[in-house]
Amino acid sequence: MIVEKTVLEADSQPQEILHRHDQISYLSDILEPVAAGDRVDGALIYGPTGTGKTATSRFLCDRLEQESEAVETAYVDCWGNSNRTAILHRILEGVGLSPSGLHRKTPTDELSQTLKRELESPLVVILDEADQIEDQAVLYELYENPQVTMLLIANDDEEFFARLEQRVDSRLVTVPRIHFRKYHDTELVSILDDRADAGLEPESVQRDELAVIADAAAGDARVAIGILRNAAEHARRDGASQIDSGIIESVTHATKREVRRKTISSLNSHQRVLLEILIENGTLGMGELYPRYCDRVAEPKGKRMVRNDLGKMSHYNLVDREGETRSREYSPDETLVDDHATEDVPVLGSVPK
CATH of domain 183-263: 1.10.8.60
Can you give the pLDDT at residue 254?
Answer: 94
Can you give the pLDDT at residue 132?
Answer: 94
CATH of domain 267-342: 1.10.10.10
Can you give the pLDDT at residue 350?
Answer: 46
Measured CA to CA in angstroms, residue 152 lies from 23, 43, 44, 101, 129 at distances of 14, 6, 5, 29, 8
22: left (phi over 0), alpha (psi -120 to 50) or beta: alpha
Give per-residue pLDDT as tens, 173-226. Answer: 999 999 999 999 999 999 999 999 999 999 999 999 999 999 999 999 999 999
* Record: fold of 21-179: Rossmann fold (3.40.50)
Can you give the pLDDT at residue 99?
Answer: 57
Percentage of the residues of the chain whose pLDDT score is greater than 70: 93
Can you give the pLDDT at residue 344?
Answer: 46
Can you give the pLDDT at residue 335?
Answer: 84
Let me know if the fold of 21-179 is the same as that of 267-342. Answer: no
Can you give the pLDDT at residue 185?
Answer: 98
CA distance 256 to 235: 18
Can you give the pLDDT at residue 345?
Answer: 43
Cα(first)–Cα(last) distance of the chain, in Å? 48
CA distance 73 to 249: 41
Can you give the pLDDT at residue 349?
Answer: 52
Can you give the pLDDT at residue 84?
Answer: 94
Can you give the pLDDT at residue 338?
Answer: 77
Can you give the pLDDT at residue 102?
Answer: 57
DSSP string, 237-293: HHT-SS--HHHHHHHHHHHHHHHHHHHHHH--HHHHHHHHHHHHH-SEEHHHHHHHH
CA distance 205 to 197: 9
Give per-residue pLDDT as tens, 31-64. Answer: 999 998 888 999 999 999 999 999 999 999 999 9
Bridge partner list, 200: 2
CA distance 64 to 72: 8
pTM: 0.92
Q: Which residues of the chain have pLDDT under 70?
A: 98-106, 341-353
CA gyration radius for the chain? 22
CA distance 220 to 215: 10
| The CA-based dihedral angle spanning residues 245, 251, 257, 263, taken in that order and rounded to the nearest 10 degrees | -90
- Residue spans of the domains in the chain: they are 21-179, 183-263, 267-342
